[in-house]
Amino acid sequence: MNQERKTVIIIGGGFGGLSAAKKLRNKEVNVILIDKTNHHLFQPLLYQVATAGLSPAYIAFPLRSIFRKSKNVQVILGEVKRIDRKSKKVYLNGENYSYDFLIVAVGARHHYFGNNEWEKIAPGLKTLQDAINIREKILYAFEKAERTLDPKEQQKYLNFVIVGGGPTGVEMAGAIAEIAKKTLIEDFKKINPSKAKIFLIEALDRILPTYPLDLSIKAKKDLEEMGVNVLLNTRVLDIRNEMVITDKQTIEASTVIWAAGNKANPLIEQLETEVDRMGRAIVTPYLTLKDDENVFVIGDAAAAFDKNGNTLPGVSPVAITQGRYVAKSILKKLKNKPIKPYRYFDKGSLATIGKAKAVADFGWIKFSGFFAWLIWVFVHIFFLIGFKNRFIVLIEWIFAYFTHQKSARLIVDEKILKSS
Amino acid sequence: MNQERKTVIIIGGGFGGLSAAKKLRNKEVNVILIDKTNHHLFQPLLYQVATAGLSPAYIAFPLRSIFRKSKNVQVILGEVKRIDRKSKKVYLNGENYSYDFLIVAVGARHHYFGNNEWEKIAPGLKTLQDAINIREKILYAFEKAERTLDPKEQQKYLNFVIVGGGPTGVEMAGAIAEIAKKTLIEDFKKINPSKAKIFLIEALDRILPTYPLDLSIKAKKDLEEMGVNVLLNTRVLDIRNEMVITDKQTIEASTVIWAAGNKANPLIEQLETEVDRMGRAIVTPYLTLKDDENVFVIGDAAAAFDKNGNTLPGVSPVAITQGRYVAKSILKKLKNKPIKPYRYFDKGSLATIGKAKAVADFGWIKFSGFFAWLIWVFVHIFFLIGFKNRFIVLIEWIFAYFTHQKSARLIVDEKILKSS
């Protein structure tokens, strides 16, 4: 650490924090990057870990390795417990660090809309640990069905409910349908895995509501062809043990996955600043706090607005460009250069539904099917970190395409067996 | 299940149980293969998962997939709680299964020689869960060292003790030395990971005691060149929190790994038969119990003897050939054909010490160094299950050879951070 230089603390090594740190490396500032895990997680492929398609290591990259050659970037594995804007300090368990500039990129967690007791039964998908837990839950449900003679009990293990029809919910529903109808179909002797029923519940009148209407309709048709029951205009009233109660019906299911809502990390409360109803810090057009131009909030933790006053969506391109923007802003401030407000250029959205099925919306053109899926594959391989990771993920996908096999069908947790 | 056929129950899907089930597939018997996990584990490479070199999925293969096309083999994920030889039944949680022939291939766990309280501090390496726990412990020790300012405290995190100088202990010591001295050397800014000290403790006067003496000496020299402190003739008296007390010295270390001894799975007690001091069932030359020719015990759970009366070692070639032998015995019994006693032909042993370093003993020839290591690589790739797994493990090793990087440097468990 160079004592004469200003210090930038970045909390969070996701898309936003990582891109900020990359822009600041080998520049005339000290950077301290703090994350609760030791890796940057490529969240767009997390659902593939949760559905046994990929091993965790290939979508997670050690933050230390990324900055091994950047002398001005210090990586700390730790959890920030407190932010004190008055003294300009960030507190971990045991130690604290002083900042001149603070970039808060802490992301979001699931939002159960006041029903936090649902989390235990219906976990969400944000971290590698979440993904591994969901993977074991899904695979173990089939094992339990195989060991059960009672047909009603068996069906309960073979019912899967996904709450929320956004991109994550759609991807999960498609991937579970693939596992049930293709991957496992020959593996079980007593049960017929094709009896598995996948329910995708969405409160609005269409899935992928941020996409153009015709793509939503196409995605629903694709999912239904894969055997997914898409329940629109359906509200979840309660989630109890092995049971989902909606305003239309009650579904008995041992596996329920939550993909319905996000809420900013509670650390945002520490900033003592204005937040929106999802707990995101409301930021200026410069992505700073209103009363503190040295504190930036970016990515899913921030409520930033486009020129029409709409909140920017919680997607990785927003986080990445915001990270770069605030890093450049800090460098400009240090040189007393003028700073322009942040502007987001939407390059388009992609969502995959299943093998060789996807929807793409680039604004000037929108399409679906095999070609959209190929673009999805290309884009995701391209943005992964590390040549070897790209290579191995591509091999996995090529194998999966031709064999229907999934690579990481592991139940590792010994507790899962003990508890049953 | 064909009612007219005899039923063979196999407990355990390791090398012994798996090779027995493979020999019995598509034969005129019903086979029930019961395992506590859903996968066959390729244990010889487990230390590479524990040292972040490989992802778990590539050394573990779903048992169901192996037998997907064998109609006579039923795979059950479950834990056998009780074996009743009188009624010829095997009891799981909730259900039970009747057998005509029983193959017990339940393997071994670690043996702490009466000091079971050491297990929490000094875990052993038998399952994927063990390996993942050890991986996180090792990686987290470096992270903790980075966050500690007190040099004495820091050294404690950078000290690694491996108890037991057999193949597992030697492989672990070599791999941790590689991580510390090569993989992580540039990644940490405050600590110098080369300050890491690795201690390999062995009670006997040489490591790899089952190998020829000159190979033991060579392996020790190799390890020492890699920076491992090999402590021979040293007995562990006590393992306390972050401290290993031997008859020669006391070592403060936050990471201690146990590779010193094995003990048969406690399920062997259920057989109510004679056992040796390691808890292994003493078997006849036909690998059956003395008083029950329909119950076979094989692999690490059995004390079988060679023609000189020496107990056969607990290595995979013994388990594999025993599995095949008992499967053939059962098929011969069903046809009233004569059965010859089991005989083991030792084809040799291989142990790796580190990159491009190994020792090989084939009886008629013994050697060490790069060529022994190449044979080690070839043999291990060859015996892995699945073409894709072989391909990806080979890619990982080629990358690791040239870059010193480790693929799976993940700390996933959120509890590890919360507890510190």
| Residue B252 annotated to the active site | no
Mean pLDDT of A118-131: 92
Mean pLDDT of A373-386: 88
Say if residues B48 and B175 touch (Cβ distance below 8 Å).
yes
Encode pLDDT of A69-92 as tens digits: 999 999 999 999 999 999 999 999
Find which of A75, A77, A143, A182 to mutate to test the B interface (most B CBs within 10 Å of its CB): A77
User: Can you tell me the distance from the alpha carbon of B33 to that of A187, in angstroms, rounded to the nearest whole number?
Assistant: 14
CATH of domain A7-36+78-110+262-334: 3.50.50.60
| DSSP output for B272-299 | ---B-TTSPEE--TTSEETTEEEEEE-G
Chain B from 182 to 221: CB within 8 A of any A CB: 184, 186-190
Q: What pLDDT is stored for residue A82 in this prediction?
A: 95
Selecting from A75, A128, A395 the residue whose C-beta is nearest the C-beta of B412 gives A128
Say if residues B357 and B14 touch (Cβ distance below 8 Å).
no
Q: What pLDDT is stored for residue B403 in this prediction?
A: 78
The alpha-carbon gap from A138 to the nearest alpha carbon of chain B, in Å, equals: 13
Helix (H) or strand (E) holding B344: none
Q: What pLDDT is stored for residue B1 in this prediction?
A: 61
Say if residues A23 and A328 touch (Cβ distance below 8 Å).
yes
Report phi then psi at A62, rounded to 5.
-60, 125
* Distances in whole angstroms, Cα of residue B414 to Cα of each of A77, A91, A109, B126, B386: 12, 19, 14, 23, 32
Chain B from 263 to 292: CB within 8 A of any A CB: none
How is domain A116-260+348-418 classified at the architecture level of CATH?
A: 3-Layer(bba) Sandwich (3.50)
The alpha-carbon gap from A409 to the nearest alpha carbon of chain B, in Å, equals: 7
User: Where do the CATH 3.50.50.100 domains begin and end in chain B?
Assistant: 118-260+348-418
Q: Which residues of chain B have pLDDT under 70?
A: 1-2, 414-420
Interface membership of A401 toward B (CB under 8 Å): no
The alpha-carbon gap from B159 to the nearest alpha carbon of chain A, in Å, equals: 20
User: Can you tell me the distance from the alpha carbon of A194 to that of B297, in angstroms, rounded to the nearest whole number?
Assistant: 38
Find which of A2, A411, A416 to mutate to test the B interface (most B CBs within 10 Å of its CB): A411
Tokens of B129: 């869960």
Percent of chain A with pLDDT over 70: 98
Q: What pLDDT is stored for residue A34 in this prediction?
A: 97
Per-residue pLDDT band at A134 (split at 50, 70, 90): very high
Sheet holding A228-231, edge to edge: A228-231, A197-201, A159-163, A255-258
Find which of B192, B392, B394, B418 to mutate to test the A interface (most A CBs within 10 Å of its CB): B392
Q: What pLDDT is stored for residue B386 in this prediction?
A: 80
Encode pLDDT of A224-272 as tens digits: 999 999 999 999 999 998 999 999 999 999 999 999 988 999 999 999 9
Contacts of B93 in chain A (CB under 8 A): 420
Interface membership of A78 toward B (CB under 8 Å): yes
**Closest residue, chain A, to B399 (C-alpha):** A388
Chain A from 31 to 70: CB within 8 A of any B CB: 36-39, 55-58, 60, 62, 64-65, 68-69
User: Where do the CATH 3.50.50.60 domains begin and end in chain B?
Assistant: 7-36+78-110+262-334
Percent of chain B with pLDDT over 70: 98
Encode pLDDT of A175-203 as tens digits: 999 888 888 877 888 888 778 999 999 99
Interface membership of A133 toward B (CB under 8 Å): no
Q: What pLDDT is stored for residue B356 in this prediction?
A: 85
Interface membership of A13 toward B (CB under 8 Å): no
Tokens of A257: 């996955």
Q: What pLDDT is stored for residue B415 in this prediction?
A: 63
pTM, rounded to two decimals: 0.91
Mean pLDDT of A34-54: 93
Question: Is the CATH number 3.50.50.100 carried by domain B118-260+348-418?
Answer: yes
**A22 pLDDT more than 70:** yes
